[in-house]
């Protein structure tokens, strides 16, 4: 039981390049979230999903896209990376509508030069 | 939207002393208040949470108090140990479908042996 895993752990991109971050969970949780963490700030919500095939915008969605084709996977895409997207990205899951707790993955550190 | 402020940003205590971290929130509809511990290079780990229908919750050396009238909540760690050294985040959410967390900016706790 791995919980929440994220790949890759680290990545360096050049401005304008694209990439996809993968979040995978084996807990059969309905809800999945993508947050970014910047120095001196709390985590901020990028996008979230309330179930397979559904996605919605969070606080800071610009420059990102997401997909949830399978319940266990939530993908975060950067179509044209910018230096402002240098950050640590965390995925989180929540079991169901009735639950409150969110469980986080280990993070992906992304640097855009 | 919700705004969560957290103080202090850094806290240094001697092993065995108590540590207190405080947060205030702005949205009176928020009803769930978790605390996360983040160690270097890892994702946030849920350590304790409280819902708005109770004023205090305790789990061994950790306790959280909530004052709904004043819109603030606090984390109390007693008998601190070096392994408590980490960054601690408070968060708040309200009863919407997404229940996204709004985080404070974090407190770096250092426990001196």
pLDDT of residue A113: 97
Confidence band of A1 (pLDDT split at 50, 70, 90): low
Q: Closest chain A residue to B104 measured between Cα atoms?
A: A42
Mean pLDDT for chain A overall? 95
How close does chain A come to B96, measured CA to CA in Å?
9
In chain B, which residues have their Cβ closer than 8 Å to the Cβ of A40? 9, 105-106
Residues A36, A27: Cα–Cα separation, whole Å: 22
pLDDT of residue B20: 98
Is the CB of residue A4 less than 8 Å away from at least one CB of chain B?
A: yes
In chain B, which residues have their Cβ closer than 8 Å to the Cβ of A103? 46
Share of chain A above pLDDT 70, in %: 99
Give the residues of chain B that fall short of pLDDT 50: none
From the centroid of its chain, how far is CA B61?
A: 14
Q: Both tokens of residue A112?
A: 């855009």
Residues B100, A93: Cα–Cα separation, whole Å: 11
Mean pLDDT confidence for A46-65: 95
Q: Report yes or no: A1 and A93 within 8 Å, Cβ to Cβ.
A: no
In chain A, which residues have their Cβ closer than 8 Å to the Cβ of B6? 42
Confidence band of A15 (pLDDT split at 50, 70, 90): very high
Residues A34, A24: Cα–Cα separation, whole Å: 12
Q: Nearest by CB to B98, from A44, A48, A105: name it.
A: A48
Residues B77, A108: Cα–Cα separation, whole Å: 29
Residues B62, B36: Cα–Cα separation, whole Å: 12
Share of chain A above pLDDT 90, in %: 91
pLDDT of residue B52: 87
Strands (DSSP E) contained in chain A are 4-7, 10-13, 19-25, 31-37, 44-51, 54-57, 64-67, 73-78, 87-94, 103-104, 108-112
In chain A, which residues have their Cβ closer than 8 Å to the Cβ of B1? 59
Reduce the DSSP state of residue B82 to 3 states and report it: helix
Confidence band of A40 (pLDDT split at 50, 70, 90): confident
Confidence band of A77 (pLDDT split at 50, 70, 90): very high
A/B interface, count of CB pairs below 8 Å: 61
Q: Closest chain A residue to B40 measured between Cα atoms?
A: A106
Residues B1, B26: Cα–Cα separation, whole Å: 8
Residues B110, B81: Cα–Cα separation, whole Å: 9
Mean pLDDT confidence for A83-100: 94
Judging by DSSP bridges, how do beta strands A10-13 and A108-112 pair with one another?
parallel
Record: contact B46-A40, CB cut-off 8 A:
no
For residue B47, which of B63, B32, B68, B25 has the smallest C-alpha distance? B63
CA atoms within 13 A on the CB side of A24: 9
Q: Closest chain A residue to B91 measured between Cα atoms?
A: A42
Mean pLDDT for chain B overall? 94
Residues A95, B99: Cα–Cα separation, whole Å: 12
pLDDT of residue A51: 94
Judging by DSSP bridges, how do beta strands A108-112 and B30-38 pair with one another?
unpaired
Q: Report yes or no: A79 and A85 within 8 Å, Cβ to Cβ.
A: no
């Amino acid at each position: 039981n791995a919980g929440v895993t994220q790949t890759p752990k680290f990545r360096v991109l050049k401005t304008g390049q694209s990439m996809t971050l993968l979040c995978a969970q084996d807990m059969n949780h309905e809800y999945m979230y993508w947050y970014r963490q910047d120095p001196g700030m709390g985590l901020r919500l990028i996008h979230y999903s309330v179930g397979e095939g559904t996605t919605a915008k969070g606080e800071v969605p610009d420059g990102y896209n997401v997909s949830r084709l399978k319940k266990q996977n939530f993908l975060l895409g950067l179509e044209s990376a910018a230096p402002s997207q240098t950050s640590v990205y965390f995925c989180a899951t929540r079991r169901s509508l009735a639950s409150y707790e969110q469980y986080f993955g280990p993070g992906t550190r992304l640097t855009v030069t | 939207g919700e705004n969560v402020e957290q103080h202090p940003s850094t806290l240094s205590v001697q092993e065995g002393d108590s540590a207190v971290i405080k947060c205030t929130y702005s949205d009176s509809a928020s009803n769930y208040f978790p605390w996360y511990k983040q160690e270097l290079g890892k994702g946030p780990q849920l350590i304790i949470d409280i819902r708005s229908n109770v004023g205090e919750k305790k789990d061994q050396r950790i306790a959280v108090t909530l004052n709904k009238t004043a819109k603030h909540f606090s984390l109390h760690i007693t008998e601190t140990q070096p392994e408590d050294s980490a960054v601690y985040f408070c968060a708040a959410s309200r009863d919407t479908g997404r229940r996204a967390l709004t985080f404070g900016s974090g407190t770096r706790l250092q426990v001196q042996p």
